[in-house]
Amino acid sequence: MRSLTLSGVALVAAFAFMSLASACETPAVVAMPDGKTSTKEQMLAARDQVKAYMKGMEDFMACVDQEAAAKGDGAPPEYKDQMAARHNAAVSEMEAVAAAFNDQLHAYNAAHPAPPKN
């Protein structure tokens, strides 16, 4: 399973801190199953959780964008930087979750090869 690096942990911590100062809420991060030992049902449930997480993150980013737009062009540069950082951190987190799920899906497929076709 792909593990978070020290920089990944710092990114998540910074993202969580920045989220506290906003009305926008991030969805809970998805717990990844172990693809080598998971059942098909567990992998399908994880897929559904990842899809729901991605939708929640899209909603979060839309909220962040709306907050930034509400402040307008007169917002201080620090505020604009913070909002851009929140958006970018959300994208990075989504990419990490997708990559982690794909890693586990590949592990599942390797552990459960499809039967040969006749």
Angstrom distance (rounded) from CA 94 to CA 59:
12
Q: 117 lies in a domain?
A: no
User: Is residue 15 very low, low, confident or very high in pLDDT (cuts 50, 70, 90)?
Assistant: very low
**Do residues 36 and 107 touch, judged by C-beta distance below 8 A?**
yes
**Structural domain contains residue 29:** yes
- Tell me the C-alpha distance between 71 and 101, whole Å: 36
Q: Please report whether residue 40 resides in a domain.
A: yes
Contact 8, 96 (CB under 8 A): yes
If pLDDT is split at 50, 70 and 90, which confidence band does 6 have?
Answer: very low
Tokens representing 38? Answer: 């998971």
pLDDT at 22: 64
The 10s digit of each residue's pLDDT in 26-85 is: 899 889 999 999 999 999 999 999 999 999 999 999 999 999 899 888 889 999 999 999
Residue 47 lies in a domain: yes
The Cα–Cα gap between 80 and 86 comes to 10
Tell me whether residue 25 is in a domain: yes
Number of domains in the chain: 1
